[in-house]
Structure 1
Amino acid sequence: MHLRSFQLSDVHAVTSIWKMTASREKEEETLQVLSRQLVCDRDLVLVAEDEGRVVGAIMGTIDKDTGFLYCLAVHPAYQGKGVARGLTQLLENRLRDKGVNRTQAVIDEGTEKLYPFYTHLGYQGIRSSVLGENWIFNLKNLIGQVAR
């Protein structure tokens, strides 16, 4: 498994994975988020490859000292094989390298199935009025404390 930054040539493979794991409406929203994030900081858009095939993706963004994880998706044939964990850890490391003190994983309608995964990693759920119906999962400790 190889983890790396997103390249424009990955767009079709990543879109295909989102189609398998999200509703059409959420897929379109995710493409808009992807476009905005690539303009802001493409280092925070990551993919996982297996033998040259893109099998997973995740996006991150930063607001002040908080990093947000969005749009985690793994091809169904690769779920349960550590792809999501690897992508999440790499993104958390990149966020920390950019000065982030804490991370939050954003889960919206259609991605609720990620709740047990993020809970297993130590994220705790709170309702966010800022993001409306979205759910945000806060890391128990600051990233610096987790990295010890």
Structure 2
Amino acid sequence: MRLRSFQLADVHDVLRIWQMTASHQKERETLRVLYEQLAYDRDLVIVAEAPDQRVIGAIVGTIDKHTGFFYCLAVDPNFQKQRVGTALVRELEYRFLQKGVKRIWITVDKGTEKLLPFYQYLGYSNTCSTRLEKELFVSQRCTG
């Protein structure tokens, strides 16, 4: 397996993996994060290639001051449990260090909660047990 920075030619392979592993809504959010990060720093978008040069995994990282965030860790289901995800996370951690990052945050939500034991295995600790959210809708009140 080889790890390298994302190239434009990878977009269809990466989208295929995200479609197999994420919900449609998550896929849209992932695309937005991907496009923003590619415009800013493509070194933090990493793909894993199989020996036949097929893209089998991807991760997208972003930086805000000295904090790194990663999103969109996805591995082709046919290659899961083969340390591809571990290699992608470790490579992103290395690149974060090279850019001065002091801490990494990962948001685990309904779509990615199955990865929590994996992240803990890699040494990440759970600093927040929940995230609360509310969408506000504007509606007309009845005045009577």
1:2-56 CA distance string (max 9 Å, x none)? 0000001111100110011110111011001100010111000000000110000
CA distance in 2, matches of 1:127, 1:33: 23
CA distance in 2, matches of 1:79, 1:8: 24
Q: Which amino acid aligns with 1:71?
A: C
Gaps of 5+ in 2: 134-144
The answer to whether the Cα contact below 8 Å between 1:70 and 1:107 also exists between their aligned partners in 2 is: no
Alpha-carbon shift at residue 112 of structure 1 (Å): 1.2
Give the match for residue 6 of structure 2. 6
Report the CA distance shift for 1:98/1:128 in structure 2 as closer, same or farther (over 3 A). farther
CA distance in 1, matches of 2:98, 2:129: 26
Alpha-carbon shift at residue 128 of structure 1 (Å): 8.4
CA distance in 1, matches of 2:71, 2:26: 12
2:113 counterpart of 1:112: yes
Instruction: Normalising by structure 2, report the TM-score.
Output: 0.86
2:68 counterpart of 1:67: yes
Q: Which amino acid aligns with 2:48?
A: A
Q: Max radius of gyration: which structure?
A: 2
Q: Report which of the two has the higher share of strand.
A: 1
Aligned residues: 132
CA distance in 2, matches of 1:46, 1:128: 29
1:10-89 superposed matches below 5 A: 10-50=10-50, 51-89=52-90
Report the CA distance shift for 1:97/1:123 in structure 2 as closer, same or farther (over 3 A). same
Report the identity percentage.
Answer: 58
* Aligned Cα root-mean-square deviation (Å): 1.6
Instruction: Normalising by structure 1, report the TM-score.
Output: 0.84
CA distance in 2, matches of 1:58, 1:49: 12
1:92-124 CA distance string (max 9 Å, x none)? 000000001111222233111111110101111
CA distance in 2, matches of 1:33, 1:132: 21
Gaps of 5+ in 1: 134-148
CA distance in 2, matches of 1:27, 1:132: 22
